[in-house]
């Protein structure tokens, strides 16, 4: 059994309280001073921008920071982002909790916005997308009601790697003229030629050209001689945007020797020539051999193709359509033979397989025509030649809900017909959805529907499809049935 001594407990209690009274008092006084400070400063929250310039590269999406300290909810206030050197000077105006798009300077339309969720925390940072060189400047964020503003400077840069090329040879001096060019800088960069030790070489003047996109192209030439090192660097740099790009060219140790002594040069040239001629002879020989090989195979293959074609002719009825296709097949066979010259390794079996594959492709072509949209879409349309069905194929990796989608079909130049997909029509990733023309198939599964009141089309009709999804119209290339 535990016995508690009341006296001891009281003493302990007193001790504890005495000990804790000191710090508690101190904390309280700090709090009071802080509250007093807050009280006197709330009258004037300060807008804080950025003391450092914001450095961006052309094409970037960036944030120009600006926030109130201490934070105040500014959602309902009128906020402005301006550039005093512009007319109109507004980059963004926020009034009645709305972005006043029409007040903006035209060059910022569609490119500036606020982080609306941040406004309640007094954060009025500006989002600027697709930065251009002309965006460079001093921006002011301003809150009308508080008459508070702050400046943020934006520096826009663009950098690109230089390219070195050989511009000429100065035989008398035994030197090579190198040219270095770098396109797409902003602001104007400087160009330097350096040797292997990093020493600056004396070069011709730097030529600078400013393009219509405001970007600079710089170029310069230098003559490199034997007394220079074998390693030459072209450096293009822009300090304000902290960008350096370099390209190096290396010469063989004996390069300049051979250049300076014309005899050596002649020897080098003749050796090179001899090697080249030998190489060409070898190439011709190989090509000739390959050609012979193919010649021995070609008749056999053509026979095979013709045999198959005549087979298909006897099976089906000979129509204009089929003759066209036969022509097509022959053409593709010839093309294949031509290709064979480039890749002579394929065996006879592989060739036959390929021809078979081509034929299967053709049979597929017999039942449907494929229409692809030139717009950016993942949906391909397969149209039956005989007007039995239209099939949509989802080439993407996401499922598409087609509820409310419409398919517009214009046959020749007649009035367009419109089909509206029934609710809960779903086009699964990689799968198809078949729209049967009434009388040719039924809606037996969730990926089939029937288009009533549409007559099958005929040969010589031109079909023009437009798929109308929830937010856009996707035109498809016309299908010529023939």
Instruction: Report how far apart the first and last C-alpha atoms of the chain are (Å, whole number).
Output: 107
Q: CB nearer to ligand NAG: give 117 or 147.
A: 117
* Cβ atoms 199, 284 nearer than 8 A: no
Q: CB nearer to ligand NAG: give 118 or 359.
A: 118
Place of tokens 């050596």: 264
The CB-of-113 to ligand NAG minimum distance in angstroms stands at 11
The CB-of-118 to ligand NAG minimum distance in angstroms stands at 4
Q: CB nearer to ligand NAG: give 72 or 167.
A: 72
The CB-of-63 to ligand NAG minimum distance in angstroms stands at 5
Q: CB nearer to ligand NAG: give 125 or 223.
A: 125
115 in contact with ligand NAG (CB under 6 A): yes
Q: Tell how strand 368-371 and strand 175-185 pair up.
A: unpaired
Joined tokens for residue 248 = 């190096």
The CB-of-394 to ligand NAG minimum distance in angstroms stands at 36
Q: CB nearer to ligand NAG: give 61 or 364.
A: 61
Q: CB nearer to ligand NAG: give 67 or 301.
A: 67
The DSSP secondary structure of 16-82, one letter per residue, reads: HHHHHHHHHHHHHHHHHHHHHHHHHHTT--EEE--SSPEEEETT--EEE--EEES----TTS-EEEE
Q: CB nearer to ligand NAG: give 65 or 187.
A: 65
Q: From the list 45, 47, 58, 67, which residue makes contact with ligand NAG (rule: CB under 6 A)?
A: 67
Span of 61-69, 155-163, 249-257, 402-410 interacting with ligand NAG by CB under 6 A: 61-69
DSSP character at residue 415: P
Span of 62-70, 137-145, 254-262, 408-416 interacting with ligand NAG by CB under 6 A: 62-70
- Between the CA of residue 379 and those of 256, 371, 410, 475, what are the distances in Å? 61, 10, 19, 11
Comparing every residue's Cβ against ligand NAG, the nearest one is 123
Span of 63-71, 265-273, 408-416, 435-443 interacting with ligand NAG by CB under 6 A: 63-71
**Residues 5-25 as b or e (16 or more Cβ within 10 Å = b):** eeeeeeeeeeeeeeeeeeeee
Count of residues binding ligand NAG (CB under 6 A)?
Answer: 7
Q: Tell how strand 426-427 and strand 126-128 pair up.
A: unpaired
Span of 117-125, 270-278, 289-297, 367-375 interacting with ligand NAG by CB under 6 A: 117-125
Span of 115-123, 141-149, 262-270, 364-372 interacting with ligand NAG by CB under 6 A: 115-123
The DSSP element (H or E) to which 128 belongs, if any, is: strand 126-128
The CB-of-75 to ligand NAG minimum distance in angstroms stands at 14
The CB-of-30 to ligand NAG minimum distance in angstroms stands at 25
Q: Tell how strand 54-57 and strand 148-157 pair up.
A: parallel
Q: From the list 57, 78, 123, 432, which residue makes contact with ligand NAG (rule: CB under 6 A)?
A: 123
Question: Of 189, 234, 238, 179, which is closest to residue 210 (Cα–Cα)?
Answer: 189
Span of 73-81, 118-126, 406-414, 473-481 interacting with ligand NAG by CB under 6 A: 118-126
Q: CB nearer to ligand NAG: give 148 or 181.
A: 148
63 in contact with ligand NAG (CB under 6 A): yes
Neighbouring residues of 147: CB distance < 8 A, sequence distance ≥ 6: none
Q: CB nearer to ligand NAG: give 64 or 390.
A: 64
99 in contact with ligand NAG (CB under 6 A): no
Q: CB nearer to ligand NAG: give 123 or 302.
A: 123
The CB-of-117 to ligand NAG minimum distance in angstroms stands at 8
- Between the CA of residue 362 and those of 307, 328, 352, 409, what are the distances in Å? 16, 9, 15, 25
Q: Cα–Cα distance between 221 and 98 in angstroms, integer?
A: 55
Joined tokens for residue 9 = 């407990």
The angle at the Cα of 117, spanning 116 to 118, to the nearest 5 degrees, equals 90
Could you give the residue ranges of the DSSP H alpha helices within 105-186?
none
Residue 288's region, left for phi above 0, alpha for psi from -120 to 50, else beta, is alpha
118 in contact with ligand NAG (CB under 6 A): yes
The CB-of-96 to ligand NAG minimum distance in angstroms stands at 21
Q: CB nearer to ligand NAG: give 66 or 160.
A: 66
Q: From the list 45, 82, 112, 125, which residue makes contact with ligand NAG (rule: CB under 6 A)?
A: 125
| Residue 88, preceding peptide bond in cis (omega within 30° of 0) | yes
Q: CB nearer to ligand NAG: give 123 or 373.
A: 123
| Helices 262-315 and 348-367, packing angle to 10 deg | 50
322 in contact with ligand NAG (CB under 6 A): no
The CB-of-398 to ligand NAG minimum distance in angstroms stands at 28
Q: Which residues bind ligand NAG (CB under 6 A)?
A: 63, 65, 67, 115, 118, 123, 125
């Amino acid at each position: 059994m535990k016995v508690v001594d009341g006296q001891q407990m009281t003493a302990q209690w007193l001790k504890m309280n005495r000990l804790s009274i000191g710090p508690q008092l101190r904390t309280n006084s700090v709090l009071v001073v802080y509250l007093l400070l807050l009280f006197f400063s709330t009258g004037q929250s300060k807008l804080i921008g950025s003391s450092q310039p914001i450095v961006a590269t052309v094409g970037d999406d960036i944030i120009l920071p600006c926030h109130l300290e201490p934070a105040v909810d500014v959602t309902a206030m009128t906020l402005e982002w301006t550039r005093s050197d512009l007319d109109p000077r507004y980059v963004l105006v926020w009034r009645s909790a709305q972005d006043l798009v029409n007040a903006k300077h035209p060059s910022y339309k569609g490119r500036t916005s606020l982080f609306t969720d941040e406004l309640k925390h007094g954060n009025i940072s500006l989002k600027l997308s697709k930065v251009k060189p002309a965006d460079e400047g001093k921006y002011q964020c301003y809150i009308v009601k508080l008459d508070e503003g702050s400046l943020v400077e934006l520096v826009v840069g663009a950098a690109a790697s230089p390219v070195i090329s050989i511009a000429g040879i100065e035989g008398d001096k035994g030197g090579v003229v190198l040219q270095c060019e770098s396109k797409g800088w902003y602001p104007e960069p400087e160009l330097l030629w350096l040797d292997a030790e990093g020493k600056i070489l004396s070069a011709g003047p730097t030529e600078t050209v400013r393009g219509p996109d405001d970007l600079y192209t710089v170029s310069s030439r230098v003559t490199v001689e034997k007394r220079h090192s074998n390693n030459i660097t072209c450096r293009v740099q822009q300090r304000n945007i902290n960008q350096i790009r370099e390209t190096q060219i290396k010469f063989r140790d004996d390069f300049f020797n051979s250049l300076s002594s014309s005899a050596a040069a002649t020897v080098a040239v003749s050796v090179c020539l001899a090697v080249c001629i030998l190489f060409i002879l070898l190439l011709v020989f190989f090509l000739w051999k390959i050609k012979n090989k193919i010649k021995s195979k070609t008749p056999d293959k053509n026979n095979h193709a013709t045999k198959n074609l005549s087979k298909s002719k006897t099976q089906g009825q000979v129509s204009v359509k089929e003759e066209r296709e036969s022509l097509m097949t022959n053409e593709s066979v010839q093309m294949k033979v031509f290709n064979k010259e480039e890749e002579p390794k394929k065996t006879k079996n592989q060739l036959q397989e390929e021809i078979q594959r081509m034929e299967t492709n053709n049979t597929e072509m017999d039942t449907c025509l494929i229409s692809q949209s030139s717009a950016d879409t993942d949906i391909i349309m397969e149209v039956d030649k005989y007007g039995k069905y239209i099939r949509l194929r989802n080439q993407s990796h996401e499922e598409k809900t087609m509820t409310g989608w419409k398919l517009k079909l214009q046959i020749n130049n007649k009035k367009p017909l419109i089909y509206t997909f029934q609710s809960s029509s779903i086009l699964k990733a990689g799968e198809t959805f078949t729209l049967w023309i009434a009388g040719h198939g039924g809606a037996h599964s969730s990926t089939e529907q029937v288009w009533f009141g549409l007559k099958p089309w005929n040969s010589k009709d031109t079909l023009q499809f437009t798929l109308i999804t929830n937010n856009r119209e996707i035109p498809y290339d016309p299908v010529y049935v023939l």
